Amino acid sequence: MSEYNKMIAGELYDSSKEELVNLQFKQRGVMSRYNELPYEAVDERRLMLKDLFGSVGENPVVQAPVRIDYGVNVHIGDNFYSNYDCIFLDVAPIEIGDDVRLAPRVGLYTATHPIDAGVRERGLEYGKPIKIGSGSWLGANTTVLPGVTIGENVVIGAGSVVTTDIPDNVMAYGNPCRVVRLIDDKDKNYWEDLETRYYAPE
């Protein structure tokens, strides 16, 4: 099994192996070029996202600067938006659904390390995948830790540290992040009423 396959399978691997070092250099070169594009280069930016990430759906917007580890292990659905300074530490797969929004400085961290200091010092590490369901919104400075799944239609409050799975249709926040309440029809009706007023003729 190659070092890359060990990595994405969640097994111990050595990131200093040539195979992974070369992949990092290649992908971080793409990241550097992406981050240096002028703001108005919208079409070029969208095309480059296909080289930066493993797969990208329709209508992606990723504000620069963005940070990746490898990038190729990130898979993004349609209508994705991430604001400035988001981090994708993708030593394991990161799967993001449709219509997901990331506020500034959201960090998705799949990488982790052995608890034993000796094994760490000898250069071995591993990762656990992250999944984010469609329709979810993560507030500024949210940290998502390895192995976490966030459900669909979830709102995560700013500054949260998400250490465990979050179910569908909830608002959650805190350190550690906890479910605060359900998102239900009352929310839908309230916001759709405001939307109707917005579009109503004066």
Q: Which residues are catalytic?
A: 113
Spatial contact of 171 and 157, defined as CB atoms under 8 Å apart: yes
* Interaxial angle between packed helices 42-52 and 18-36, expressed in degrees from 0 to 180 and rounded to the nearest 10: 170
Angle formed at CA 125 by CA 119 and CA 129, multiple of 5 degrees: 145
CA distance 97 to 42: 22
Of 37, 39, 96, which Cα lies nearest the Cα of 48?
A: 37
- Whole-number Cα distances in Å, 126 to 3, 80, 93, 156, 181: 11, 27, 12, 26, 34
Indicate the SS3 state at residue 179: strand
